Amino acid sequence: EVGDYALWDVDVCRIRGQIMHARQCDDLAGAVSVLAALDRMVASGAPGHVVGLFTRAEEVGLIGASSVARVRALPEGALVVAVECSSMAGGRAEQGAGPIIRVGDVQHIFSPRVTMWMTQVARELAAEDPTFCYQRKLMDGGTTEATAYDLMGYETGAACMALGNYHNAGPRGRIAAETVHLGDVEGLARLFERMARDTTRIDRVHLDATRRWQRIGREATARLKAGR
């Protein structure tokens, strides 16, 4: 009847090996990673002020995120990291290769400063633990909430997991359950926990990179002048 909800007749949730098949991985898996990160922080007594913001109506135009940004529901100066699942179709990313630090989407490039810091945190975590892996990608399969936050005045980065059967679109035009890799979900929670402990370094990471290239520029200029 008119007004009834219609759902695809696919697995509600089934785990095969390390792959979770579900009707709606996007974006319940993202919510799971945020909640898992908060659990890890509480259990370890990690310092800091972290907010898990859960919005709705993303699929019909980033309605929740745009409203949050417009009414300034988040503190001014907040460091925002948008979380989601993103289509791996066309080789955009690989399941099981770790969480993805998302550089941008089909419309917008996110804060280079935040992205640089996130990448540095992930690199250090991988150096400490060889079982941790991550990806750094421009995921251009659509537009994400990070675009709304960033364009509306919140400095924003983004992270995601590689999503199979995006929007239940399976192989050969068939309807199928979406998929995510459980290792990517856990890895994203680990990355978020480390980021939450490390927010005070965001300026330092950017400054160190800037100074490095300034030094290289000075040395190169001196060599060029000496060669004249």
Q: Which pTM does this prediction carry?
A: 0.90
User: Tell me, what's the pLDDT at 7?
Assistant: 87
Q: How confident is the prediction along the chain (228 residues), in pLDDT tens digits per residue?
A: 899 988 888 988 999 999 999 998 998 999 999 999 999 999 988 888 899 999 988 888 889 999 999 999 999 989 999 999 999 999 999 999 999 999 999 999 999 999 999 999 999 999 999 999 999 999 998 899 999 999 999 999 999 999 999 999 999 899 999 999 999 999 999 999 999 999 989 999 999 999 999 999 999 999 999 986
User: Tell me, what's the pLDDT at 47?
Assistant: 81
> At 69, which amino acid appears?
A
- As given in the structure block, the two tokens for residue 15 are 């785990």
CA within 13 Å, CB half, 102? 33
Question: Residue 80: which of 55, 57, 52 has the closest Cα?
Answer: 52
User: Tell me, what's the pLDDT at 43?
Assistant: 93
CA within 13 Å, CB half, 76? 1
| Residues in the chain, overall count | 228
User: Tell me, what's the pLDDT at 174?
Assistant: 93
User: Tell me, what's the pLDDT at 48?
Assistant: 80
- As given in the structure block, the two tokens for residue 131 are 């079982």
Domains and CATH numbers, the chain: 16-226 (3.40.630.10)
H-helix segments, 86-172: 112-128, 145-151
User: Tell me, what's the pLDDT at 227?
Assistant: 81
